[in-house]
Amino acid sequence: MTITRFILIVILIGLLTSLYSQPCKDGRSNKKPNPEQRAERITQALNEKLSLSPEQFERIRAINLEAAKKIGEVLKTLPEGDRKARHLALKPIRQHTQNQIRSVLTPNQLTKLEQFHKERKQKRKECQQHHKKMQATTALNLYPNPATTNATVETELPKPADIELIILNHNGNKVQTFSYPNQNAGKVSIPINTNNLQPDTYTIMLVAKSKEGKPKRFVRTTKLIVGQ
Q: For the segment 188-206, what is each residue's pLDDT rounded down to a tens digit?
A: 899 999 988 999 999 999 9
| Inter-residue contact 190 to 163 (CB < 8 Å) | yes
With 0.75 as the threshold, say if the pTM is over it. Answer: no
Mean local confidence (pLDDT), 64-69? 94
| Inter-residue contact 60 to 45 (CB < 8 Å) | no
| Inter-residue contact 187 to 156 (CB < 8 Å) | yes
Q: Specify the range with the lowest mean pLDDT, choosing from 10-19, 47-56, 210-219.
A: 10-19
Q: What is the three-class DSSP state of 211?
A: coil
Per-residue pLDDT, 176: 92
Q: What is the DSSP string of 102-138?
A: HTTS-HHHHHHHHHHHHHHHHHHHHHHHHHHHHHHHT
Q: Which amino acid is at 105?
A: L
184 DSSP 8-state letter: P
CB atoms within 10 A of CB 52: 21
| Chain-centroid distance, C-alpha 7 | 28
- Going along the chain from its start, the domains and CATH numbers come out as 3-135 (no CATH), 138-226 (2.60.40.2550)
Question: 178-211: b or e for each residue (b if 16 or more CB lie within 10 Å)?
Answer: eeeeebeeeebebebebeebeeeebebbbbbebe
| Inter-residue contact 159 to 137 (CB < 8 Å) | no
Per-residue pLDDT, 27: 44
Residue among 221, 27, 205, 32 at smallest CA distance from 130 = 27
Q: Which amino acid is at 136?
A: A
Per-residue pLDDT, 53: 94
CB atoms within 10 A of CB 8: 20
Q: What is the DSSP string of 28-97?
A: --SPPPPHHHHHHHHHHHHHHHH---HHHHHHHHHHHHHHHHHHHHHHHTSPTT-HHHHHHHHHHHHHHH
| Residues counted in the chain | 228
- Indicate if the pLDDT at residue 7 is higher than 80: no
User: Can you tell me the distance from the alpha carbon of 21 to that of 44, in angstroms, rounded to the nearest whole number?
Assistant: 16
pLDDT digits (tens, 9 = 90+) for 161-192: 899 999 999 888 899 999 999 998 888 899 99
- Indicate if the pLDDT at residue 19 is higher than 60: no
